[in-house]
């Protein structure tokens, strides 16, 4: 079974600064996907970024980028130029390739961006 660990339950950052959210996972699979989801106070789950395990290049989406270390089973999210709207819960998630495409989530981390 796969597990996802987010060891930092809460972080805060000043507006315009950079922050890194950590995530580690455990799996015996070789083909899988990793995701970061954002959940603002509205409760809506929003996909932030996705990484395919077979790709060595780290994914980037505007101010969001990941540091994917497959051997270390580490998948951190970097948010550059933090904005007040980035305040949210952030969840790291794992999906095995193929089959039922179930997501396994970490427990989440609350990020607060301060003005």
Partner 1 sequence: DAGITQSPRHKVTETGTPVTLRCHQTENHRYMYWYRQDPGHGLRLIHYSYGVKDTDKGEVSDGYSVSRSKTEDFLLTLESATSSQTSVYFCAISTTSGAYNEQFFGPGTRLTVL
Q: Which of residues 75-104 bind partner 1 (CB under 8 A)?
A: 91, 93, 95, 97, 100-104
Quick one: 64 or 105, whose CB is closer to partner 1? 105
Residue 57 makes CB contacts below 8 A (sequence gap 6+) with none
What number of chain residues touch partner 1 (CB under 8 A)? 23
Residue 51 makes CB contacts below 8 A (sequence gap 6+) with 33, 34, 35, 58, 59, 66, 68, 75
Quick one: 102 or 112, whose CB is closer to partner 1? 102
CB of 93 to partner 1, least distance (A): 8
CB of 21 to partner 1, least distance (A): 14
Given a contact cutoff of 8 angstroms between Cβ atoms, the answer to whether 76 and 66 are in contact is yes
CA distance 110 to 91: 9
Binding mask 47-66 for partner 1 (x = CB under 8 A): x--x-x--------------
CB of 72 to partner 1, least distance (A): 21
CB of 112 to partner 1, least distance (A): 16
Going by C-alpha positions, the residue among 29, 30, 21 that lies closest to residue 2 is: 29
């Amino acid at each position: 079974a796969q597990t996802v660990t987010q060891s930092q339950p809460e972080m805060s950052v000043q507006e315009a600064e950079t922050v890194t959210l950590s995530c580690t996972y455990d799996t015996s699979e070789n083909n899988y996907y990793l995701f970061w989801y954002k959940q603002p106070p509205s409760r809506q789950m929003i996909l932030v970024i996705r990484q395919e395990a077979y790709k060595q290049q780290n994914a980037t989406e505007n101010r969001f980028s990941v540091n994917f270390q497959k051997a270390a089973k580490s998948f951190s999210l970097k948010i550059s130029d933090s904005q007040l709207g980035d305040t949210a819960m952030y969840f790291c998630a794992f999906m095995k390739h193929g089959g039922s495409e179930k997501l396994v989530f970490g427990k989440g981390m609350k990020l607060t961006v301060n003005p």
